[in-house]
Chain A
Amino acid sequence: MDSKGRFGVHGGQYIPETLMNAIHELERAYEHYKNDPDFQKELSTLFNEYANRPSLLYYAKKMTEDLGGAKIYLKREDLNHTGAHKINNVLGQALLAKKMGKTRLIAETGAGQHGVATATAAALMGMECVVFMGEEDTKRQALNVYRMKLLGASVVPVKTGTRTLKDAVSEAMREWTTRVEDTHYCLGSVMGPHPFPTIVRDFQAVISKEIKEQMLEKEGRLPDVVMACVGGGSNAIGSFYHFIEDKDVQLIGCEAAGRGIDTFETAATVNTGRLGIFHGMKSYFCQDEFGQIAPVYSISAGLDYPGVGPEHAHLHDIGRASYVPVTDDEAVDAFEYLSRTEGIIPAIESSHAIAYAMKLAPTMDKDKIIVVTVSGRGDKDCAAIARYRGENIYE
């Protein structure tokens, strides 16, 4: 029997036997509904009427002039309902789960954006919702914990391991093995076992579909560069997907380097990790010489993950996309820069992509075009960034 869901050598279905039938059930359901016009229509209605799609493609004029190089467009996923790109995937999966007869959604969350989006979709569709969140992250993102509870979800603080995103994923997987009958695991990124990397990518691909249409309308041509931040990689693959075949469009993923890729306090998986098998997939992971998963670090809870989605690992292998490290300091500078320059407060995750655009744009000619995806808004990060800058404020 052939292994499924491969991107080059990456991907696959490395999960316990207990989950195999549930995964196959999901695969069959997705294969059916992805080609079902009624399902697609229902989903676009949700996107457009509920989540505020299409999101704007905004020409950042001041930023462009200030940096003095390539023209910069921002894909404003921060303007989506719930404040990030996460809602795209969640509405798709929740609708799918509902069609499958599931009544309960479980999810992991890092920064809390995916948890909030899942809680939102569960409220909308009348489903039960349980979100697993590393205890450390419940502290870093206390406001999002409250938002999830407000939306009717229960939040389980995960106290194992590093108490961050990877532990939340592990705990959600454990929970799913105990209860598959009525429960759908609404995975938040393009990771985990097949079919998740494909399902999540397909639902997020709306980002690049819109960028392409909007760019052709505004500029009459494709951009030269598309860039986005990469943790698991869902907003990045969503931003890249419809450009993968357009070889002249350079694709850049911005990884969280934490305190630097020459330190242990980093989460830049493609830059510092090596091939491994974890959380259901073969891909690159930060790990020690014996394959123990490394306790990674980034200021951004949403990028604080030791692995990367298998399709990104493959795009890296074949040289179609490049992955660059961006440190905490650079991201915080970009967070402040975009706020001051354009009046847009980006999520600290998205700030990693902004930071690299700030480096790249001045090196490019003025007739070149960069699209940066602002995956989420930064309200949730204000207190933490203030503390990073030594201001003693709490939410």
Chain B
Amino acid sequence: MSNISSAFSKGKAFIPFITCGDPDTDTTYRAVLEAVKNGADLIELGIPFSDPTAEGPVIQGANIRALSGGITTDKVFDLVRRIRKDVSIPLVFMTYANVVFSYGSDRFIKTCQEIGIDGLIIPDVPFEEKEEFQPYCEKYGVDLISMVAPTSEDRVTMIAKEATGFIYIVSSMGVTGVRSSFSNDLEKVVGKIREVTKVPCAIGFGISNPEQAAKMSQFADGVIVGSAIVKILEEKGTDAPEAIGAFVKSMKDAI
């Protein structure tokens, strides 16, 4: 059991996503500090992958910028060590199965524990394949975050029963990225989860403004925002952290 529940203990949680090393690790460091200062309750740190199949064009772009900038898994770990000197809220990694597997799953997750990473989101690992990483997560007290999609239907209960940390509810079909409409069934999905677990539910994928965040937080415990933040980095580069801080504040105030 990690520290993740603390992010949901003071009302609705706002969870920004930032790709590590986009465009460099110093910018990521400053962006994280600004986000925390302006009310972020948990930060999702993306470890870039060459072929991020669950991402839309915006986050794909961030992955490419970060990798071109020379980011590696070891450099991300160093970045987290630096962030952890100033930041105490929960931090989770978002990355793809091969990044963890190729580093050595045991070694990767052991390092997560050492540097203060509380959870791991791996979008290309569904419930049926979680045994690949779950034993190491349990060994080192890192939560393997479960995802639930609008198409999960009869799978929701099975997934929720074994979930730890928080449950990541995918807002609608498709890849990450800004969108104007969401699945109509989200409230029902949350209801189904509540029947079997107290693990908090956070909704992500495509949420980009305070109105959407407010709407989602009416029934979810938290809101995750990725592409809208990455977009700021895409536009402002190393000058992005202050703007990210202001954006986080507007979102946190809305939920």
Name A's B-contacting residues (CB within 8 A). Answer: 1-4, 12-22, 160-161, 166-167, 170, 173-174, 177-180, 274-280, 285, 287, 289-293
Contacts and interface: CB of A to CB of B under 8 A. Distances in A.
Given A170-B51, A178-B175, A279-B53, A3 B98 contact: no
A42 B101 CA distance: 43
18 contacts: A13-B128, A16-B54, A17-B148, A17-B149, A21-B155, A177-B173, A180-B151, A276-B101, A276-B102, A277-B124, A278-B96, A279-B53, A287-B102, A290-B73, A291-B98, A291-B101, A291-B102, A293-B50
Contacts of B132: 3, 277
A290 B175 CA distance: 24
Contact of B128 (A1, A161, A289): A1
A277 B123 contact: no
Contacts, number: 123
Contacts of B150: 18
Contacts of A278: 51, 96-98
A274 to B, nearest CB: 8
Contacts of B147: 16-17
Contacts of A290: 72-74, 99, 102-103
Contact of A173 (B53, B127, B170, B173): B53
A177 B98 contact: no
B124 A15 contact: yes
B252 to A, nearest CB: 27
Nearest to A166: B51
A161 B50 contact: yes
B174 A14 contact: no
Nearest to A21: B151
Contacts of A160: 57, 60
Nearest to A276: B98
Contact of B53 (A174, A178, A275, A292): A174
A179 B173 contact: yes
Given A18-B170, A18-B173, A20-B126, A170 B98 contact: no
Contacts of B148: 17
Contacts of B100: 291
A20 B50 contact: no
B152 interface: yes
B209 to A, nearest CB: 21
Interface centre among B57, B60, B132, B151 (most CB of A within 10 A): B151
Interface residues of B, number: 42
A239 B227 CA distance: 45
Interface string B118-132: 000001111111011
Interface of B: 49-51, 53-54, 56-57, 60, 67, 72-74, 96-103, 123-129, 131-132, 147-153, 155, 159, 170, 173-175
B77 to A, nearest CB: 11
Given A13-B126, A290-B74, A291-B101, 11 more contacts: A14-B125, A16-B53, A17-B123, A17-B148, A18-B150, A18-B173, A20-B128, A166-B51, A174-B54, A277-B132, A291-B98
Contacts of A161: 50-51
A174 B101 contact: no
A277 B127 contact: no
Contacts of B125: 14
B201 to A, nearest CB: 14
Contact of A17 (B67, B97, B126, B131): B126
Given A17-B152, A20-B155, A285 B98 contact: yes
B123 A3 contact: no
B51 A293 contact: yes
Nearest to A14: B124
A58 to B, nearest CB: 40
Contacts of A167: 51
Given A18-B149, A179-B173, A1 B127 contact: yes
Contacts of A14: 97, 124-126, 129
Contacts of A19: 151
Contacts of B53: 16, 170, 173-174, 279
A361 B148 CA distance: 55
Contacts of B149: 16-18, 20
A177 B101 CA distance: 24
Given A161-B51, A279-B53, A13 B129 contact: yes
A22 B155 CA distance: 12
Contact of A22 (B51, B127, B151): B151
A268 to B, nearest CB: 19
Contacts of A22: 151
B152 A21 contact: yes
A277 B51 CA distance: 12
